[in-house]
Amino acid sequence: MTTITSQDNYLTYTRGLRSWLFTLDHKRIGVMYLVSVLAAFLLGGVLAMLIRLQLLQPEGLLFRGTDSSVFRTYNELFTLHGAVMIFLVLIPGIPGALGNFVLPLMLGAKDVAFPRLNLASYYLYLLGAALALAAIFLGSVDTGWTFYTPYSTQTPGAVVWLVFGAFILGFSSIFTGINFIVTVHKLRPKGMTWFRVPLFLWGLYATAVIQILATPVLGITLLLLILERMFQLGIFNSYYGGDPILFQHFFWFYSHPAVYIMILPAMGIMSEVIATFARREIFGYKFVAMSSLAIAIIGFLVWGHHMFPNGQSGPMNVIFSGLTMLVAIPSAIKVWNWLATMYKGSIALRTPMCYALCFLFLFPIGGLTGLFLASLTTNFHVHDTYFVVAHFHYVMIGGTLFMFIGGIHYWWPKITGRMYHEGFAAFCCLLQFIGFNLTFFPQFIMGTHGMPRRYASYMPEFQIYHVLSSIGAFLQMTALVLVALGLAYSLWRGRRAPANPWGGSTLEWECSSPPPHDNFESTPKVGRPYDHSHIIWNPAVGGYVRKG
């Protein structure tokens, strides 16, 4: 074990604003991503609160009136909420923030393969975010984050700005993907064969494959959309000879795989957290690793399930329904293997593990309700209702976001060098779990009773569900604010973190907390991942150390 004094870490290595803005250190870039993503998350959350406020009353609480133009502001709110959460939070979140920080550490490397590209990716993220936010002030956008034509080519407002922002964000995502793929290929230490790569990295690797293959399609689609809007070329607008369904195909060809860009890294964190807190080698390592790749590949072939009632041909519907059913299998494999990892383990209910248990509860609900949407019969009933809204929030929030926050807690001691308050953090997790279910479970019921999505006003019989959902949302917001306060407090008053507070067996726990600028003094030796037998508790350090 290397012990370095706390003065000498990546945070204190150099000082001043410039040393951050021009840093090539993957850890600092990771931290900058983390701060930016959390800021975007706050914005997305505030927008969600406004949406839930509006829906407290059937005729609308904030925007109401006899003329439907009063609803435009509501439509802008849900558009921005979706765009911010997807493009600024969920897609870049785990890879950009945690991936950047942890990936080289897990490889025992000094940095990613292309540090400059890494910084460029961060600045493109900022630029994309700035363009998207500029759209709010330049006329706003009411198309929904899906930008369906021909509405998006006709409605007034700053559609071009937001779309161009998403286009730029796509490049940021591609840069991260390229960097991660090359790093995993080239910078693995001696002894780390492909089947000894930590599962978080398998998750990031599979994600990176999707990022570089699918995102260019989004880029082209968004450019065509801009051209169509500015020059009426007749690509997507039937009035000029184009086809609106073509846009939907292009859009979902990216945006369905994007769902896996969001969930795969979260599944990677799941594997890390469960292995560490159950002190067990991951059960069925190869199946867990390969299922990530399977998801990445099959995930490319299911996009048409977003378009069953939209006018796509019957045979296409049948094919896409079948393929969509298949993509459920690798996820199921992962869930079984996580459970089997817990079997005969030594399970410590620390906060990251609490988040992992939430995931094991919420993600199956999200995944299994996907079968209702994949089945052709039931899709025609619940398509574009709140059932869909509930389904994807169970996957994206219950899955991705819970593990993002779980991962932040898991690596918090490593990133900041401080321990947060365990009891308080676990309490916040519980609060969030309750708030989450209260928000989104009633939405399933609304959906099967026929409540359409993207409605600014609704039939009075749905009010009870909407009120429950709003209360849940406010509870979640409270919980998240408490999480943030708890973490912030730890920066100031938290106990200093040992190198390995949880007994993790991957390499990032070998260097001190926070890591020194160069991560490791010498490249560490690697054996089987998730072998906890030689990692033992040392009361003197207040953490775990390697035996011998």
Partner 1 sequence: MNHCVTHLLAQASFWLEPAASTSAQEHDRVFYFVLYVTGFFFALVVALMLTFVILYRRRKGGERTSGPTHNTPLELLWTGIPLGVVIIIFVMGLNAYLSFESPPSDALLIDVEAKQWAFTFTYPNGATSEKLYLEIERPVLLQLHSADVTHALYIPAFRVQRNAVPGRTTEMWFKPVELGSYHVFCTQYCGDGHSVMTTEAVVLDATAYSAKLNELANIFVDAATKQPLPMAEVGARVAKSSGCFQCHSVDGSPGQGPTWKGLYKHDHRFSLAPPGYVLTTGDDDAKWEAYLRESILEPGAKIVQGYQNVMPPYAAQFSGTPYKDKKLTAIVEYIKSLGNPGSPPR
DSSP labels, 96-151: IIIIHHHHHHHTT-SS-S-HHHHHHHHHHHHHHHHHHHHHHHTT---STTTT-TTH
Q: Tell me the per-residue interface mask from 218 to 257 with Cu ion, x by CB under 5 A, - otherwise.
A: --------------------------------------x-
Structural element, H or E, at residue 263: helix 244-278
Among 503, 515, 516, 524, interactor with partner 1 by CB under 8 A: 503
369 binds partner 1 (CB under 8 A): yes
Strand partners, 546: 535
Look at residue 418 and give its three-state secondary structure. Answer: strand
519 binds partner 1 (CB under 8 A): no
Strand partners, 536: 545
Burial annotation 208-219 (CB, 10 A radius, 16+ → b, else e): bbbbbbbbebbb
423 binds partner 1 (CB under 8 A): no
Q: Which does 482 bind (CB under 5 to 8 A by kind): partner 1, Cu ion, none?
A: none
318 binds partner 1 (CB under 8 A): yes
- Contact present, 237 and 153 (Cβ < 8 Å): yes
Among 249, 256, 280, 391, interactor with partner 1 by CB under 8 A: 280
What is the rounded distance in angstroms from the CA atom of residue 415 to the CA atom of residue 214? 31
Angle at 129 (CA atoms; ends 124, 135), nearest 5 degrees:
130
- Contact present, 208 and 181 (Cβ < 8 Å): yes
Question: Among residues 249 and 256, whose Cβ is nearest to Cu ion?
Answer: 256
Question: Among residues 143 and 513, whose Cβ is nearest to Cu ion?
Answer: 143
What is the rounded distance in angstroms from the CA atom of residue 93 to the CA atom of residue 406? 13
301 binds partner 1 (CB under 8 A): no
Among 22, 194, 195, 380, interactor with partner 1 by CB under 8 A: 380
Among 138, 450, 463, 474, interactor with partner 1 by CB under 8 A: 450
Among 115, 139, 216, 452, interactor with partner 1 by CB under 8 A: 452
282 binds partner 1 (CB under 8 A): yes
CB of 408 to partner 1, least distance (A): 22
What is the rounded distance in angstroms from the CA atom of residue 548 to the CA atom of residue 531? 15
453 binds partner 1 (CB under 8 A): yes
Burial annotation 78-105 (CB, 10 A radius, 16+ → b, else e): bbbbbbbbbbbbbbbbbbbbbbbbbbbb
414 binds partner 1 (CB under 8 A): no
- Contact present, 173 and 91 (Cβ < 8 Å): yes
Question: Among residues 180 and 252, whose Cβ is nearest to Cu ion?
Answer: 252
What is the rounded distance in angstroms from the CA atom of residue 532 to the CA atom of residue 206? 26
416 binds partner 1 (CB under 8 A): no
Q: How far is CA 187 from the centre of its chain?
A: 25
- Contact present, 294 and 225 (Cβ < 8 Å): no
Question: Among residues 34 and 451, whose Cβ is nearest to Cu ion?
Answer: 451
Look at residue 538 and give its three-state secondary structure. Answer: strand
User: Which residue is associated with the tokens 């033992």?
Assistant: 536
Question: Among residues 461 and 521, whose Cβ is nearest to partner 1?
Answer: 461
Contact region with partner 1 (CB under 8 A), list: 19-27, 88-96, 127-135, 373-381: 373-381
CB of 141 to partner 1, least distance (A): 12
Nearest position to Cu ion, beta carbon: 256
445 binds partner 1 (CB under 8 A): yes
333 binds partner 1 (CB under 8 A): yes
Contact region with partner 1 (CB under 8 A), list: 12-20, 93-101, 240-248, 467-475: 240-248
Question: Among residues 180 and 202, whose Cβ is nearest to partner 1?
Answer: 202
Q: Which does 375 bind (CB under 5 to 8 A by kind): Cu ion, partner 1, none?
A: partner 1
CB of 69 to partner 1, least distance (A): 5
Angle at 216 (CA atoms; ends 210, 217), nearest 5 degrees:
95
Q: Which of residues 252-291 bind Cu ion (CB under 5 A)?
A: 256
- Contact present, 158 and 143 (Cβ < 8 Å): no
Among 42, 117, 245, 297, interactor with partner 1 by CB under 8 A: 245
Query: On the CB side of 255, how many CA atoms lie within 13 Å of its CA?
Result: 23
CB of 47 to partner 1, least distance (A): 17
CB of 262 to partner 1, least distance (A): 21
Residues with Cβ within 8 Å of 451's Cβ and at least 6 positions away in sequence, in order, are: 385, 386, 458, 459, 462, 465
Q: Which does 256 bind (CB under 5 to 8 A by kind): Cu ion, partner 1, none?
A: Cu ion
Q: Which does 317 bind (CB under 5 to 8 A by kind): Cu ion, partner 1, none?
A: partner 1
375 binds partner 1 (CB under 8 A): yes
532 binds partner 1 (CB under 8 A): yes
Using left for φ > 0, alpha for ψ between -120 and 50, and beta otherwise, residue 420 falls in beta
Angle at 488 (CA atoms; ends 485, 490), nearest 5 degrees:
110
- Contact present, 431 and 478 (Cβ < 8 Å): yes
CB of 170 to partner 1, least distance (A): 23
Among 14, 57, 155, 463, interactor with partner 1 by CB under 8 A: 155
Q: Which of residues 58-87 bind partner 1 (CB under 8 A)?
A: 68-69, 71-72, 75
Q: Which does 333 bind (CB under 5 to 8 A by kind): Cu ion, partner 1, none?
A: partner 1
391 binds Cu ion (CB under 5 A): no
Residues in contact with Cu ion by the rule CB under 5 A:
256
